[in-house]
Homo-oligomer: A and B are copies of this chain.
Amino acid sequence: MGQSLLLLQLVVILGASRVFAYVLRAFGQPPVIGEMIAGLALGPLLFGALAPGLHAQLFPPQSLPVLAGISQVGLVLFMFIVGAELRMPGGVAAQLRASSWIGGFSVLLPFVLGIAIAPWLHPELAPAGVALLPFALFIAVAMSITAFPIMARILKEKGLAGSALGTLGLTSAATADVLAWVLLALVVALISAGGGWYGFARALGGLVLLVGVAFALVRPAAAALLRRHAGDGKPDGTTLALLLLLTFAFAATTHWLQLHAVFGAFLFGVCLPRDDRLLDTLVERIEHLSVIVLMPVFFALAGLNTSPDAFVGMGLSAMGVILLLAILGKVLGGAAGARLGGTGWRDSFAIGTLMNTRGLMELIVLKVGLDIGVIGREVFTMLALMAVITTLMTSPLLGWLLRGRTAASAGNRETQSV
C-alpha cells in the first residue's frame, strides 16, 4: 500500500507542477517558479484547506521520509550539473573581485536587517525555549540566502546563462552562498552542538581541505579517466557510474561537515575538466530527469511543511516587514556591491535583482531551521512565501531593467533551454 501511495503522490506532484508551470508561463515566468508554487499549493495552505480529508490520505506523515529521500537525490544530481556547467569567461580576476563585493554586500545587508527585526518577532513567533540570539542569527541567515540553482534556471530560461551578466550573477551567488552557508553552519553548530567555534572551524577547515583534494587530486584523475573512456565526449556506462558515485561521495562529505550535501555535489561538478561535449552529454543524461521528476518532489515537501497559522496574530504584518526588508537588503546590497566592483548602474540593479532570487536554497535553509527547532512552522511559512515572492519578482524586474537588450547583446554565448 505504501508503494502505491508513492506512485499516486508522484502523479499528483508532477501533474500539479505541469498545471502551475503552464499557467505561470502566461505571465512570462519560467516553469521552475510554477513548480515551486505547485509545491506550496500542495501543502495545507491550498490543497489541505480545500480538501483536508483527501490531503491527509494522500500525504500522511509516515510517507514523507520517502519523498524527502527522493528529493535529496534530485537535489544532489541537480547541483552536480549546475557545478559542471559553470564557466568562467575572460577576465576571471576582475570577475572574482566584483563577485566578492556583490556576494559580500548582498549577504551582509539582509543579515543586518534580519538581526534588527528579530527582537520584534521573537516574543510571539519563536518556538518556546528558543533564546533570542540563535533565533536572530537564523532569521538573519535565512534573509541573506540567494538561490543559486533557481537563479541558474532563470538565467538559462532567459538565454542569459553564458552571458557576462549571468556569469557574474552566478559567481556572486556562489560567493554569497558559501558565506551564507558558513554562517548557517555556525548557527546550526551553535544550536544543535555545544561548541559553536569548533563546529565553525571544522566546517570551514573541512571545506578548504575538500576543495584542495578536489582540484589537486580528483580533477586530474577525472581528466585522465575521461580522456581514456570518453574520448568521443560520450562516457561509457562505467565512467558515468563512477562520476555519479563521486558526486554522492562528495555530497556525503559536505553533509557530514554540516555544510549541506548540495555543496559537495556542486564542488565535484566544478572540479571536472571543462569539456563542452562531455558536459553536454552529462547534462543530457542527468539533468532532465532530476529537474522534471525529482525537483518537484522537493517543492511539494516544502509545501507540506507550511502552516496556515502564519496568518493569525501579528503574522501578516510580520510577513510584510520580512518581505520588504528581504527585498531591500538583497537588491540594494547586491547593487552596491556591483557598483563598487565597477559595474554600471543599470546592470548593478539587475545583479541586485538576481541576488534577490531565494527560491530553492531558502527552502533548504528553512528545512534545516525547522529540523533543529529554531523556527516553527509559522515562521517557516512566512519565509517560504517570502522566498516565492522574491523569486517571482526576478523575471519581470530583470526584463524591465534589461529592456531593449537582446540576449545576444548581453554577451550570450549560446541559447540553452531545458
Q: Of the candidates B18, B67, B248, B291, which one forms a contact with A10 in the assembled complex, judged by CB atoms under 8 Å apart? A: B248
The answer to whether B285 and A288 touch across the interface, beta carbons within 8 angstroms, is yes
- A393-418 contact mask (Cβ, 8 Å, vs B): 1 or 0: 00000000000000000000000011
The answer to whether A286 and B289 touch across the interface, beta carbons within 8 angstroms, is yes
Residues of B within 8 A of A2 (CB): 65, 68
Q: Of the candidates B10, B11, B18, B238, which one forms a contact with A238 in the assembled complex, judged by CB atoms under 8 Å apart? A: B18
- A31-69 contact mask (Cβ, 8 Å, vs B): 1 or 0: 100000000000000000000000000000000011111
Chain B, Cβ-Cβ closest to A294: B73
Does A244 reach chain B (CB closer than 8 Å)? yes
- A1-24 contact mask (Cβ, 8 Å, vs B): 1 or 0: 011101110110011011001100
Residues of B within 8 A of A238 (CB): 18, 21-22, 31
The answer to whether B70 and A69 touch across the interface, beta carbons within 8 angstroms, is yes
Does A252 reach chain B (CB closer than 8 Å)? yes
Q: Interface range on chain A: under 10, 10 to 19, 20 to 34, or 35 or more?
A: 35 or more
The answer to whether B292 and A240 touch across the interface, beta carbons within 8 angstroms, is yes
Does A313 reach chain B (CB closer than 8 Å)? no
Provide the main secondary structure of the chain A interface.
helix
Residues of B within 8 A of A292 (CB): 237, 240-241, 244
Residues of B within 8 A of A289 (CB): 77, 244, 285-286, 289-290
Interface residues of A in 150-196 (CB under 8 A from B): none
Chain A residues with CB under 8 Å of chain B are: 2-4, 6-8, 10-11, 14-15, 17-18, 21-22, 31, 65-70, 72-73, 76-77, 236-238, 240-242, 244-245, 248-249, 251-252, 255-256, 261, 284-286, 288-293, 417-418
